[in-house]
Structure 1
Amino acid sequence: MAAFAMGWSDVDGRPAGGEGGKSLRPTIAMLSAEAVGAPAESALPGAVAVELVHAFSLVHDDIIDNDERRRHREALWKAYGVGPALLAGDGLLALAVNRLAGHPEAAPYLAQALVGLVEGQMADMAFESRPWHGAGRVTVEEYTEMAAGKTGALLGASAATGVALGGAPELGDRMWSAGRDLGVAFQIVDDMLGIWGDPHVTGKPVYSDLMRDKKTLPVLAALEAGGPAARELSGILRAGVGDEHSARHAAELVEAAGGRSAARAAADLHLRRALDVIDACVPDAAELRALCDSLVNRVT
């Protein structure tokens, strides 16, 4: 099951040549080690650990969200059942922790990331039951803190473990901060792709976040902007986005109210913050910088 979750095998255990994910987090770890003058291999314990945690989080996320598809095939729980999938996710997490157990300079960053990841996921789930308007509404500031945990914590751990294992532990905390900002930018772009992306590319059903009442940044920013489009959008959200037609119209209103442009500006802001820290810590990290740029420039 673990091999299936990682994209290495099919449901019957045969080697698979399908999509196994982007390996973004281990790449950040290894490029961070190289940026401080160490061989990329020095970051392997951290690279393996963060990828295992990422796989664990996806297994559990699919169960929580009742998502039946992952990377253009069945989610692990759909293929094997909820109970076995939960245990497989737990096993991936245990392997990740064990991988860094002998590296005290890096292990605390993984532990910190796990706390942030769980807190962020809990906040994201809680947002779904909160109203779009009024005293209990989700603010852009709350969203940003959620994204910094849910997505940013593990990217922070990737960068921090990379420099720590590469022999520059004094840069760990600052690279952690850069990774968190990068994670916020990455999450915002994911939100945009969830509304305006091509499902054949993203592997996600179109408009699924709108139909699930997910409090994504483009929608929150559109509502905060006010104006006729925002007011019409508010009415649709109150009634519930129940089908693809209403979801498509809601997406048009989000863009008309300025939510798409505001989300793009916010992603660019957090990317700049991350790159400023990276430039200050590891000024010769051209490959790392290019990777960060590519994560945000997946959407226009």
Structure 2
Amino acid sequence: MSGTAGLTAAGSEARVPEQGGSLEWAGELLVPALREAVAELPEPERLIEGYHRGWHPADGRPPSPAAEPGGRPGGKAVRPALVFLAARAVGGTAECAVPGAVAVELVHDFSLLHDDVIDGDPLRRHRPAAWTVYGTPAAVLAGDALLVVALRTLSAVPGVRGAAALRELVATLADLMRGQSQDVAFEREERVGARDYLAMAEGKTGALMGGACALGAVLAGADERRVAALREFGRRLGVAFQCADDLLAIWGDSRRSGKPVGADLAARKKSLPVVVALADDGAAGRGLAELYGRPGPLDAAAVAAAARLVEEAGGRAATEREAQRQVTAALRALAGARPAPEAYRQLHAVAQAMTRRDR
């Protein structure tokens, strides 16, 4: 392959800031290699991925400087940052982990393209979702193409590290698909237990973050014990992230999140706050169950009422507590990986920031 076989970053070791905060450094290291990988796609899928990431408008023309105000092209680079920092945590360089970061970001985009189709979400990153622009079949095929390129990227890494990285990604994908399948199945269930929901979240969201951390460690040559500890750190962090996402979906600000707030309630999705609230046998829990059991769509007033009932039934507070519990477990696992001090500080900052997102 002309592109993915040599996915490395030019120049010296990546600039990784001492303190937490912006992850722009991860995007700067990721994007050149990611663009190289995306360039291998057939033209229709390349167009859709470029639009999905905010690289250009729907017609593929170069964007104007004033285009997409307030948008965040390409997302926040959280998962690539985890790959790079995990590599550094075990004594490697961020550069050695670039193929893993590219593969993880491609898989993430693959899952987002498919998620938006499955959920019928019309917005992604402050723009119309790809399926609303290009059609459902094209968006699904684009996601499939990204998955192929992700696998091909890691298959091009030579030696035992490349083989181990490829096995790690395949295992991650198996867990990711399990979680996605459970999430869809929950929509048909009248009640879902909190434990079942958290197991689903560990696959749907935790698997890819755990895989990101494990890939960084694998590509840096870490032993299995440190790889496993970093994988567990990422998985717990992913569940915490899902808790925060569930809170944003009900009480967030669509101008910041880029997705319609209240859509999960309107679709009667059983996010963790809802699962907890439905288990409440008080007036608020019963009222929410009655709303969720109504035939037909929920209008804006019903969605607002549902949000109030979820909070009154304890769903919001319980989800906030669970997010913090998962972060604590993540940091415990991180300590078990014996990380380098600078990388530990960075991973600790990322973990804290992921549950303190704008609401």
- TM-score, normalised via structure 2 length: 0.79
SS in 2 for 1:14: coil
When the two chains are superposed, the root-mean-square deviation of aligned CA atoms in Å is 1.5
- Find the counterpart in structure 2 of residue 291 from structure 1: 350
Distance in 1, matches of 2:248 and 2:233, equals 23
Contact 1:192-1:299 at 8 Å conserved across structures: no
Measure how far apart 1:108 and its partner are.
Answer: 1.4
Q: How many residues align?
A: 295
Deviation per CA, 1:10-65, whole angstroms, max 9, x where unpaired? 11112346522111111100011111121111110100000000001111111111
Whether 2:183 is the aligned partner of 1:129: answer no
* Percent identical residues: 45
Which residue number corresponds to residue 112 of structure 1?
Answer: 171
| 1:134 aligned partner | none
Q: Secondary structure at the match of 1:94?
A: helix
**2:144 is the alignment partner of 1:90:** yes
Residue 40 of structure 1 corresponds to 94
TM-score by structure 1 length? 0.94
Unaligned 5+ runs, structure 1:
132-136
Deviations for 1:178-215, whole angstroms, at most 9, x for unmatched residues?
A: 21111111111101100000111111112100111111
Residue type at the aligned position of 1:24: V
1:222, distance to aligned residue in structure 2 (A): 1.7
Aligned to 2:36: none
1:191 aligns with 2:191: no
More displaced, 232-241 or 23-32? 232-241
> Following TM superposition, by how much is the alpha carbon of 1:299 offset from its aligned partner in structure 2, in angstroms?
5.5
Unpaired runs of 5+ residues, structure 2, are: 1-47, 66-70
Superposition map of 1:1-300 within 5 A: 1-16=48-63, 18-19=71-72, 20-101=74-155, 102=157, 103-131=162-190, 137-170=191-224, 171-239=226-294, 242-283=298-339, 284=341, 285-298=344-357
Deviates more, 1:11-20 or 1:21-30: 11-20
Cα distance in 2 for partners of 1:42, 1:242 equals 50
| Letter matched to residue 204 of structure 1 | K
Query: Secondary structure at 2:278's aligned position in 1?
Result: helix
The one-letter code matched in structure 2 to 1:173 is: A
Question: Alignment partner of 1:206: what SS?
Answer: coil
Moved over 4 A (4+): none
Contact 2:244–2:320 (CA<8 Å) still a contact in 1? yes
Decide which structure has greater helix share.
1
- SS of corresponding position for 2:145: helix
Q: Partners in 2 of 1:212 and 1:282 — Cα distance?
A: 44
Q: Distance in 2 between matches of 1:41 and 1:191?
A: 34
